[in-house]
């Protein structure tokens, strides 16, 4: 007998995590993630290797999600997948898999925008933000301030014109020889350092736009000059360099977020994406929340980085609106809202 419950299987494969999750009636039951460690050897994600790893991981990850939720694939109401933005080859694996499965099971297919899903991750657990809210989405590929008026009604009101802030973290970490992905390692070092020890120029941008490529170059020249004077400069100042670069990046993020909050008169403030795990950003956000009387929302770490739980959550809202796609759909690496 067909169940009246809404049971969705969601697949995420936009970058270097292969993930599957099950949501039942809008409750995310699990979030299975296979992390691809192969990229660590290369200091960054290698697209071709990512696609191959997705190909290997996708069946076991989907099987585990179904088994863990004790759901038979024949009970599924819909299959959801990340259509974009992301790496073409990586997206194609999830897209093709989801299309085949929906076709075989004769159930609707739901496409999800990865950036919207990062924001909708806030509705997986309590406390949930109230509409309208602003979300600062900060990851390895994106830096955006989004005005969120409803589950599926959102608008990008500010974004980076070049690098993402996660890239600035990772590239700085690489220059310091900290490994990949360097953001979390840099964060750890920064906790023991002096954020005001070194000054780096904050790039001025109009309106609510960001730019993070300048600071990357500034750090490069700064290190080159200091290393000429003292070849042990990095070793002797590692924590202070990390703290100072992190401080500059956070200042840049927060200034525009505060500007957006005042301009739109919205005090419900959320952050999403991998960089929202940064301890300095979290602390600064809480401090600013007191000054500006914001209510601040940060998802659990599991739902900040790339995961299928957020895709399942987004897909549930789309299922309620009957926003389905047909079999002609394809991956969209530069997908917009
Ligand atoms: O959202 P995400 O998992 O994947 C993308 O869609 O990009 O974000 C990954 C990014 C990487 O740049 C990583 O270095 C950064 O998030 N990141 C951090 C921290 N944890 C992850 N950056 C700074 N501090 C952290 N604690
Ligand atoms: Zn992401």
Q: CA–CA separation, 257 vs 208, rounded Å? A: 8
Closest approach atom of ligand 1 to CA 14 = 6
Say if CB 117 and CB 146 are below 8 A apart: no
- Domain-embedded: residue 183: yes
Most confident of 8-12, 140-144, 273-277: 8-12
199 and 98 in one domain? no
Q: Let me know if residue 242 belongs to a domain.
A: yes
Nearest CA to ligand 1 atom 3: 305
Q: Is residue 334 part of a domain?
A: no
CATH code of the domain covering residue 166: 3.30.420.40
Using the mean position of ligand 2's atoms as its centre, give its distance from the Cα of residue 94 in Å: 15
179-201, pLDDT tens digit by residue? 888 999 999 999 999 999 999 99
Question: Is it the case that residue 3 has pLDDT exceeding 70?
Answer: no
Q: Are residues 204 and 289 both part of a single domain?
A: yes
Q: Which domain holds residue 47?
A: 7-119+304-320
Task: Give the contacts of 81 (CB within 8 A, at least 6 positions apart).
Answer: 10, 11, 12, 13, 94, 95, 97, 98, 99, 109, 110, 111, 112, 311
Instruction: Say what the pLDDT of residue 43 is.
Output: 76
Among 43-52, 100-109, 277-286, the least confident range:
43-52
Residue 65 and residue 145 share a domain: no
**Residues enclosing ligand 1, CB less than 6 A?**
15, 139-141, 166, 169-170, 181, 183-184, 187, 273-275, 277-278, 305-306
pLDDT greater than 50 at residue 1: no
1 domain residue, yes or no: no
Q: What is the mean pLDDT of the chain?
A: 95
| 141 and 290 co-located in one domain | yes
Give the rounded percent of residues in the chain with a pLDDT score beyond 90.
90
| Ligand 1 atom closest to the CA of 188, numbered from 1 | 26
Domains in the chain, number: 2
In angstroms, the CA 301 to CA 277 distance is 6
CA of 222 to the centre of ligand 2 (A): 30
pLDDT tens for residues 308-324? 999 999 999 999 999 99
Residues 59 and 22 in one domain: yes
**Has residue 284 been placed in a domain?**
yes
Write down the pTM of the prediction: 0.95
pLDDT at 2 over 70: no
Assess whether 142 and 101 both reside in one domain.
Answer: no
What does the pLDDT average to over 233-249? 98
Taking residues 28-34, report their average pLDDT: 96
- At residue 269, does pLDDT exceed 50? yes
Pair (33, 133) in one structural domain: no
Query: Over the stretch 79-98, which tens digit does the pLDDT of each residue have?
Result: 999 999 999 999 999 999 99
Residue 275 shares a structural domain with residue 309: no
The average pLDDT across 20-49 equals: 89
Asked if 136 and 258 sit in the same domain, the reply is yes
- Same domain? 270 vs 142: yes
CB 294 within 8 A of CB 261: yes
Q: Are 138 and 273 in contact (CB under 8 A)?
A: yes
Q: Provide mean pLDDT across the span 141-156.
A: 97
* Pair 136, 260 in one domain: yes
Which numbered atom of ligand 1 lies nearest the CA of 114? 6
Residue nearest to atom 11 of ligand 1 (CA): 140
Position 335 in a domain: no
Residues with CB under 5 A from ligand 2 (ion): 139, 306
Give pLDDT, residue 58.
96
Q: Ligand 2 centre and the CA of 274: distance in Å?
A: 7
Give the pLDDT confidence of 198-230 residue by residue, as tens digits.
999 988 899 999 999 999 999 999 999 999 999
* The pLDDT of residue 286 is above 90: yes
Is residue 211 assigned to a domain?
yes
Q: Within a domain: residue 155?
A: yes
For the stretch 197-212, what's the b/e string if a residue is b when 16 or more beta carbons lie within 10 angstroms of its beta carbon? ebebeebebeebbbbb
**Same-domain pairing of 39 and 169:** no
């Amino acid at each position: 007998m067909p169940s009246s419950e809404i049971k969705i299987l969601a697949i995420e494969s936009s970058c270097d995590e292969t993930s599957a999750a099950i949501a039942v009636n809008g409750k995310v039951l699990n979030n299975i993630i296979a992390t691809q460690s192969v990229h660590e050897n290369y200091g960054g994600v290698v697209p071709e290797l990512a696609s191959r790893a997705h190909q290997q991981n996708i069946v076991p990850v989907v099987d585990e999600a179904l088994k863990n939720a004790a759901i038979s694939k024949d009970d599924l109401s819909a299959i959801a997948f990340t259509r974009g933005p992301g790496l073409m080859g990586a997206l194609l694996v999830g897209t093709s898999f989801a299309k085949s499965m929906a076709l075989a099971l004769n159930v609707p297919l739901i496409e999800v925008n990865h950036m919207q899903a990062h924001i909708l991750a806030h509705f997986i657990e309590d406390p949930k933000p109230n509409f309208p809210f602003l979300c600062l989405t900060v990851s390895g590929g994106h830096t955006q301030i989004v005005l969120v008026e409803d589950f599926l009604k959102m608008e990008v009101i500010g974004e980076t014109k070049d690098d993402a802030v996660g890239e600035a973290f990772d590239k700085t970490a690489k220059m310091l020889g900290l490994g990949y992905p360097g953001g979390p390692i840099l964060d750890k070092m920064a906790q023991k350092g002096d954020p005001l020890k070194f000054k780096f120029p904050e790039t001025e941008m109009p309106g609510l736009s960001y730019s993070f490529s300048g600071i990357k170059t500034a750090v490069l020249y700064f290190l080159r000059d200091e290393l000429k004077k003292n070849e042990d400069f990095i070793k002797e100042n590692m924590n202070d360099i990390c703290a100072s670069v992190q401080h500059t990046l956070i200042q840049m993020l927060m200034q525009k977020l505060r500007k957006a909050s005042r301009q739109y008169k919205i005090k419900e403030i959320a952050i999403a994406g991998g960089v929202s795990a940064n301890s300095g950003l979290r602390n600064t956000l809480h401090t600013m929340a007191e000054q500006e009387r914001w209510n601040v929302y940060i998802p659990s770490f599991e739902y900040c980085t790339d995961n299928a739980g957020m895709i399942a959550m987004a897909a549930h809202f789309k299922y309620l609106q009957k926003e389905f796609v047909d079999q002609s759909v394809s991956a969209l690496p530069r997908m917009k809202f």
